[in-house]
Each structure stands twice: as structure tokens, then as C-alpha cells.
Amino acid sequence: MHKIAVVGTGYVGLVGGAGLADFGNHVVCVDRIEEKIEQLRRGEIPFYEPGLSDVVLRNVREGRLSFTTDLGTAVRENDVVFCAVGTPEGEEGRVDLSQVDAVAREIGTHMDGYRVIVQKSTVPVGTARRLRKIIEETQSTPVEFDVVSNPEFLREGSAVEDFMRPDRVVVGADSERAMEIMRGIYAPLYINRTPIVETTPESAELIKYASNAFLATKISFINEVANVCENVGADVQVVSYAMGLDKRIGPKFLHAGAGYGGSCFPKDTKALVHIAREAGAEARIVDAAVGVNREQKERMVTKVVKACGGDVSGKTIGLLGLAFKPNTDDMRYAASIVLAEGLRDKGAAIKAFDPVAAENARELMPFIEYVDDAYDAAEGVDALVLVTEWNEFRQLDFDRLKNAMASPVVIDCRNVYDPDEFESRGFSYEGVGRGRP
């Protein structure tokens, strides 16, 4: 059993903190936002993540998980300090490390004995060494410590399952003492024979960026193929299905759509391009994937305008789903933002329904009329656009939708619906990459 402080109680910190407590460790989760900590102390989860509430409440009840805003005490009272604060995009694709640096300075100030500092946030190669320097410079008591890189691979929407049963764990450490402590923390995963990659901090840091950039590239690749499909009269759904049957390719992340969003792929791809450039290397494929993705999001605007006869000015467009993907309320870099803003700029009014992300979306896009369900979003609209493929949008009463709409035009940005079925019901249907011979 280790005594752990997890700094940053967002998607990664809270899921990770609760998960580490579930592994049998004693964990205190720290955040600078008092309201968040108060909510957690009341047993409320500050964001939407399926299954998280159960793990948090169970570990609180069993005395292994608590919450605080007091980072200093957390550093003094625990042996291991995980850092899971935000690393947003800075200028020119550079990673903004201000939150990480601030935490390192505080850790240095309060450290009064050997500590392992574990970097869970996604940070550029070389950050572990940089943090060592910051901590050394701010230490009030000169004590030994180690900095470990332990990047996180969980996905929002299935974060709890991903943390508890990961494909692999990556630990980058320079010291055997720190590595041994990490083995103890992840003991249940060692017992489960989860592959654990023990490496240097530099390799660990790069593994995270390279993995995310590869997945993002796979998405941009199939989106590019989808665009070719539209021009040559092929159907990307069949093309990607057949490609995915090849075990070397695999079916995952091979779905054409509105482009990737979320808190990771957009910033991590740009960061890798920047990291490579700074190091005198190049990441040209990733750079291209970033460009393809930007254009793919913009293409959705063009698609809707075209489906509306070339002009959306004065028209009303309904959006189904706003979150960057289903099962989350995260709106960061969501494709819906480019689409809604693009249509607004062309004079359209927007109505939208999302099962959980409406509250977050409202802050970003106050110009949208937020409604209570899919049928409301279809009421009187000139076109209905499926933006986020929540399961509840797969089985709607499509005749009821059609009757509610001013004109039966559907744009399916996620290729969820069957074009033939929609057309036989009298809709005009447009998907992504579903060309016809």
C-alpha cells in the first residue's frame, strides 16, 4: 500500500486517483478549484463519466480516497505525488506547461523527505528532466526525489474500464528505487499480466505522443479516402470495412466522419510536430494529418450548405449531438463547434440537442438554441445533422422526425444511418464518403 497524492482532479486525475485507490493504495486527490473539491466531498462527480461515481464512492466509503485543495499538506503527507493537471495547446502548437510547472514549484517547496513525482499529464519529451530542475531550484529542504513519466492512455467515455484494464502501462524512470515503487502501485496489473513497459522518461514521454498521433493519422487517412470516395463513386463504409479485415490494418479508428476532436488528439498531434521541429527532426505525416483534420471539419459546413441547396442564410439547422464523441460531456475541439460557427457565419439559425454536453456547449456557443430531445431539434428545421453518434440517435422514429422537419434533409456526419432506408422514407440523405457510382 502506497500513500499517493494526485494533483489535478479532471478526467485523468479523478479516474486515476479512484483507480489507484481501487488497487489498494491510499489516495488524496488535490485540485485548486474549491467548488470541485466541495462537490466531490458531497459525493458528486464534477463531470460526466460512466461508472466513475461507483468507484469514487466505494473507495471513499472504504477510507482509501479523500479530496483536498491543500497541495502542501498532500505533498508532506504522501510518498508519491502524481501530477495530472492540464497541458493545453499554447502558441504555435507548443505545449502550455504553466500548470505543470506551478505544481512542480509547489511540490519542491513542500517536499520534506524522499518523494516520487509521477508525471501523468501528456508532456513534451524532456519534461521529466525539466521538472527535476524546477524542483531542485525550489526545494526548501534539500531531499532526494525521483521524477517518473507514466503517461495515461484512458479514453473519455470508457475511462474507468481503460484505467482498470489497460492494454499496457508505460513507466519511464531513471532510478530503480522509483521503478520499484511504481511496481508496487500497479501491483494488481502486474498480477493480471498487463504488459508493463519499463523504460526511460524520454521514451515514455514520446510513446504517448506517438500513439495519439498514430491514431489521429489513421482517422485523417480514412477521412481522406472518404473524400476520394465521394469523387469516384465509391462507398467508404465498404472500403474501410474491407481494409479493416486485414489484421495488419485492423478496423479501429478507421471510421470516416467529421474529423477528430477532444482534449487530446488535436493538441497532441500539433505538439508532436512542434517537438520534432524543436529537436531538428520532422513529423511531416502528422503535420498532414492535422491539416486534413482541419479541412474535414470545415468540409462538414460545406456539406450542409450544399444539402440545403447552396445557401443556409435564413434557414434553421438542427444538430443531433455536440460533444466531441459519445458518452462524454467534453466539448474541447468538438467538430460541432466548427460546424455550428460556420453555419452561423453563413446566416443560419442553429438548434441542437445533446444528452449531456449541452451545459458545457452553452458556454462556448450561446448563439445555439438548446432543446430537450432529438424531435425538438428536428422541429421546423431545413436540415438535420447527426454530429455526435450517441446510441440514442441510432434508433429514432424517423417518420416522426420527417413530419417535424420543414424539409426532410439529413446530413449524417458519422455514417450511422442506412442511406437507402432514409431515401426510401423520402429523406434527402448525405453521409461522409458515401459516393454512388
Task: Give exposure, 126-147, as e/b (b: 16+ Cβ within 10 Å).
Answer: ebbebbbebbeeebeeeeebbb
> Closer to ligand NAD at the Cβ: 8 or 342?
8
Smallest gap from Cβ 393 to ligand NAD, in A, equals 22
Smallest gap from Cβ 328 to ligand NAD, in A, equals 8
Helices (H), 118-200: 127-138, 159-164, 176-185, 187-191
> Closer to ligand NAD at the Cβ: 8 or 318?
8
Residue 38 CA, chain-centre distance (Å), reads: 25
> Closer to ligand NAD at the Cβ: 31 or 230?
31
The answer to whether 5 touches 115, Cβ cutoff 8 Å, is: no
Residues that bind ligand NAD (CB under 6 A): 7-13, 30-33, 36, 71, 84-87, 99, 102-103, 121-122, 152, 154, 156, 263-264
| Number of alpha carbons in the 13 Å side-chain half-sphere of residue 275 | 24
Sheet with 369-370: strands ordered across: 369-370, 349-353, 316-320, 383-386, 409-412, 428-430
CA-CA-CA-CA dihedral for 15, 169, 252, 216, to nearest 10:
80
Paired residues of 344 in beta bridges: none
> Closer to ligand NAD at the Cβ: 120 or 303?
120
Q: Which residue has 524542483 as its cell numbers?
A: 135
> Closer to ligand NAD at the Cβ: 31 or 235?
31
Catalytic residue among 29, 83, 264, 308: 264
Q: What is the CA radius of gyration of the chain?
A: 23
Q: Which residue is nearest to ligand NAD (CB)?
A: 10
Distance (Å, rounded) from C-alpha 390 to C-alpha 404?
21
**Is 264 in the active site?**
yes
> Closer to ligand NAD at the Cβ: 12 or 275?
12
DSSP 414: T
Smallest gap from Cβ 219 to ligand NAD, in A, equals 15
Smallest gap from Cβ 250 to ligand NAD, in A, equals 21
The answer to whether 2 touches 25, Cβ cutoff 8 Å, is: yes
Query: What is the full DSSP assignment across 296-318?
Result: HHHHHHHHHHHHTTS--TT-EEE
Catalytic residue numbers read 264
